[in-house]
């Protein structure tokens, strides 16, 4: 008893200390973000309310029917619980095994204990009622998508698993540990608030488990060029001979390039080098406010065109093969159109990983691509010069709020668990800032106006359009991608002017579908040599293949890479070695 009391007093003292730290951390919160970044404009609420009221006035019987059905189910749930408690029965029969299972409610108590069963079922009834009401609103499609998104956010926020009093796992652990789990959880909460300068976003991975260049991002190579936009890394060969045409990879600058080199066993960079290619990878600068006026033209001139020039100089070749991933693929398509307009044949072929070039269907990002949000982003970058990496992390996380916000928060803050040592989630948290001008160009001209696919994107003295791309191209979409849905990737790709077009669709999502090494034999892929017609028509005629798409792509790349020549060693071409891979720019930011 004395030992338990001593432990309790120590925990109370610890909580008092942590509470003071939390107050201090919250007091250091930087100036408020533009309110428009926190939610939709008032016009959306007005339109949703008007649509609901109009439905209620024109079809009151439907509303009455919905209400009666809801209250009937809620009353039935209450009576079942009351009867169980009145008879002293604290166990109930499990629900129908065929009912959909939500992994948040995996604890058997959610189905057998009267109190938790009541809470769960009432939450499910409330969620169903909200979703039904929203689904029946008569709104323009984009507005309806936004209402559905924000309604889902509310539903996810109020899940009973998110609150201590209605989470049996957290309550049980608090009892079992004499409150230690709650102390540990508060410590985790304070740590995250301190790390994010007064803002709250759960840490997804142990920040001390990985170090770029030590246990991730370790493929051997040298930085051979650096300017204000990027570093160019030339990777060391592991074969005596390599294909004549070098390969240049442009990763997205929203995150960092080492997603392609996390661990040796799933490193795309290592695998490409092992196949016998001279590989160059761009590592982008993480911009600070001094980059406010940097636009897409700077990324193209001082990034794409310069990296291509470096690769040509190093190898003595007249052409390179290029790869663009996500937003870097979008910009690669603009670069190809620019080269075509200039009569420059420096790029022999191009590959696109999960790349959107036609934004007519904005998918889940439609929520953030309407004027109220974009106006707020413009005001924010106008004031700060950059779009801060925290905003990008938060936005991406709330697209998958249960997986990337609430579940990690429950484990960390209520269960007191340490974040896992997970390399992919570590990378996910190592996001970057975006220059103000580039953000505005991307959102206004490419996403909202859809210039690349429609009227043409005016840049660098030319009007750029994806139909002007003529080089051989290959595109890889991923089946469950929520950032760049494969059908949207296909729609833009199908419009390219190239006669030689190849499209693959990999299983899984934006990251796992691309970082899918053959050795794991995990996700398969679809192929169809005919890139014409709708995405559904393409898929209907496609063949499924077990395993990674990497070898199939390498066969495509090999045919466009020339004969074998002696391997090129970094530093032997006249370009000085500036430092070892992964370089210095990749270390700038939150996880450095």
Residue 290 domain-assigned?
A: yes
447 belongs to the catalytic site: no
Domain assignment present for 425: no
- Report the Cα 82 to chain-centroid distance in Å: 45
Residue 561 lies in a domain: yes
Assigned domain for 366 exists: no
The SS3 call for residue 435 is: strand
C-alpha dihedral sign at 162, 210, 329, 350: negative
- Helix (H) or strand (E) holding 510, with range, is none
Q: Is residue 367 over pLDDT 70?
A: yes
Structure tokens at 537: 């028509």
Q: 589, 591, 590, 588: which is closest to 226 by C-alpha? A: 588
d(CA 149, CA 39): 11
pLDDT at 529 over 90: yes
pLDDT at 40: 61
pTM: 0.89
pLDDT value of position 64? 64
The parent domain of residue 189 ranges over 1-30+169-200
Residues 6 or more apart in contact with residue 476 via CB below 8 angstroms:
351, 352, 353, 354, 503, 504, 505, 506, 513, 514, 549, 553
pLDDT at 84 (0 to 100): 77
Q: What is the domain count for the chain?
A: 3
The residue from 166, 191, 213 where one domain ends is: 166
- The answer to whether residue 418 sits within a structural domain is no
The whole-number pLDDT of residue 298 equals 98
Rounded to an integer, what distance in angstroms lies between the CA atom of residue 254 and that of residue 508? 21
The reply to whether 533 and 551 lie within a common domain is yes
Instruction: Look at residues 41, 26, 34 and name the one whose alpha carbon lies nearest to residue 387.
Output: 34
The Cβ of residue 119 has, within 10 Å, a number of other Cβ atoms equal to 22
Does residue 549 contact residue 504 with C-beta atoms inside 8 Å?
yes
Domain identity same for 244 and 296: yes
* ∠ CA 569-572-578, rounded to 5°: 90
Residue 477 shares a structural domain with residue 565 = yes
User: What single string gives the DSSP state of each residue in 261-303?
Assistant: GSSGGG-HHHHHHHTT--EEEEEE----GGGTT--HHHHIIII
Which residue has 């925990």 as its token pair? 11
The answer on 17 and 36 residing in a single domain is no
H helices then E strands: how many in the chain? 21, 17
Assess whether 333 and 242 both reside in one domain.
yes
Same domain, 7 and 70: no
Residues 19 and 53 in one domain: no
**Active-site residue identified among 326, 447, 474, 489:** 326
Within this chain, do residues 249 and 299 fall inside the same structural domain, yes or no? yes
Q: What is the pLDDT of residues 302-344, one digit of tens each?
A: 999 999 999 999 999 999 999 999 999 999 999 999 999 999 9
Quick one: pLDDT at residue 61? 60
Residue located via tokens 């899918």 = 516
Contact residues for 580 (Cβ-Cβ < 8 A; gap 6+): 213, 221, 222, 223
Mean pLDDT of the chain: 88
CA distance 356 to 505: 14
236 and 100 housed in the same domain = no
Query: Does residue 159 lie in a domain region?
Result: yes
Q: Is residue 58 part of a domain?
A: yes
Kindly report the CA angle at 231 between 228 and 232, in degrees rounded to 5? 140
Rounded-to-integer distance, Cα 384 and Cα 320, Å:
37
The separation between CA 192 and the C-alpha centre of its own chain, rounded to angstroms, equals 20
CATH value at residue 471: 3.40.50.1820
Asked if the structure places residue 176 within a domain, the reply is yes
Instruction: Examine the domain organization and report whether 175 and 88 are in the same domain.
Output: no
Q: What is the residue whose two structure tokens read 């060693």?
A: 569
Residue 88 has pLDDT above 80, yes or no: no
Looking at the structure, do residues 254 and 333 belong to the same domain, yes or no? yes
Highest mean pLDDT among 74-78, 162-166, 265-269, 585-589: 265-269
Same domain, 553 and 476: yes
Confidence category of residue 90, pLDDT binned at 50, 70, 90: low
Question: What separation in angstroms does the CA of 318 have from each of 180, 279, 439?
Answer: 65, 16, 33
Could you report the per-residue pLDDT of 216-259, keeping only the tens digit for each?
999 999 999 999 999 999 999 999 999 999 999 999 999 899 99
């Amino acid at each position: 008893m004395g030992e338990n009391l001593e432990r309790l007093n120590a925990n109370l003292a610890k909580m008092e200390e942590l509470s003071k730290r939390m107050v201090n951390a919250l007091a250091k919160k930087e100036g408020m973000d533009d309110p428009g970044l926190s939610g939709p404009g008032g016009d959306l609420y007005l339109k949703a309310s008007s649509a609901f009221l109009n439905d209620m006035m024109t079809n009151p019987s439907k509303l009455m029917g919905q209400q009666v059905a809801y209250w009937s189910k809620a009353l039935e749930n209450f009576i079942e619980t009351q009867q169980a408690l009145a008879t002293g029965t604290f166990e109930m029969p499990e629900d129908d095994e065929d009912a959909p299972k939500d992994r948040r409610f995996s604890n058997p108590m959610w189905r057998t204990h009267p109190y938790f069963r009541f809470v769960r079922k009432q939450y499910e009834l409330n969620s169903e009622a909200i979703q039904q009401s929203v689904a029946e609103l008569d709104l323009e499609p984009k507005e309806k998508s936004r209402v559905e998104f924000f309604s889902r956010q509310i539903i996810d926020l109020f899940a009973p698993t998110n609150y201590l009093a209605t989470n049996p796992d957290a309550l049980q652990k608090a009892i079992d540990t004499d409150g230690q789990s709650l102390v540990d959880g508060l410590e985790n909460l304070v740590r995250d608030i301190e790390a994010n300068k007064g803002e709250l976003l759960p840490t997804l991975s142990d920040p001390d488990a990985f170090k770029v260049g030590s246990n991730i991002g370790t493929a051997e190579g040298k930085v051979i060029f650096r300017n204000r936009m990027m570093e160019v890394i030339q990777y060391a060969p592991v074969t005596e001979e390599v294909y004549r045409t070098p390969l240049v990879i442009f990763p997205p600058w929203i995150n960092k390039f080492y997603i392609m080199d996390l661990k040796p066993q799933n490193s795309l960079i290592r695998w490409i080098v092992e196949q016998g290619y001279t590989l160059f990878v761009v590592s982008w600068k993480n911009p600070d406010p001094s980059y406010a006026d940097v636009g897409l033209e700077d990324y193209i001139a001082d990034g794409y065109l310069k990296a291509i020039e470096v690769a040509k100089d190093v190898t003595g070749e007249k052409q390179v093969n290029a790869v663009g991933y996500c937003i870097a693929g979008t910009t690669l398509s603009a670069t190809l159109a620019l080269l075509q307009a200039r009569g420059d044949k420096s790029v022999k072929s191009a590959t696109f990983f999960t790349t959107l070039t036609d934004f007519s269907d904005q998918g889940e990002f439609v929520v953030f691509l309407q004027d109220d949000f974009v106006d707020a982003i413009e005001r924010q970058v106008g004031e700060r010069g950059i779009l801060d990496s925290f905003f990008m992390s938060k936005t991406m996380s709330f697209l998958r709020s249960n997986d990337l916000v609430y579940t990690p928060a429950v484990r960390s803050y209520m269960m007191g668990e340490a974040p896992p040592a997970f390399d992919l989630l570590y990378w996910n948290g190592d996001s970057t800032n975006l220059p103000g001008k580039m953000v505005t160009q991307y959102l206004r001209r490419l996403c909202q106006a859809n210039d690349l696919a429609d009227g043409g994107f005016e840049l660098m003295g030319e009007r750029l359009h994806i139909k002007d791309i003529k080089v051989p191209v290959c595109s890889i979409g991923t089946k469950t991608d929520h950032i760049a849905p494969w059908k949207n990737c296909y729609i833009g790709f199908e419009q390219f002017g190239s006669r030689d077009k190849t499209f693959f669709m990999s299983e899984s999502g934006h990251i796992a579908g691309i970082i899918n090494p053959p050795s794991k034999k995990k996700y398969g892929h679809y192929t169809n040599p005919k890139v014409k017609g709708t995405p559904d028509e393409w898929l209907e005629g496609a063949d499924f293949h077990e395993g990674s798409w990497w070898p199939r792509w390498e066969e495509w790349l090999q045919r466009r890479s020339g004969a074998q020549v002696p391997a090129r060693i970094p530093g032997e071409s006249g370009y000085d070695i500036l430092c070892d891979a992964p370089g210095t720019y990749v270390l700038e930011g939150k996880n450095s």
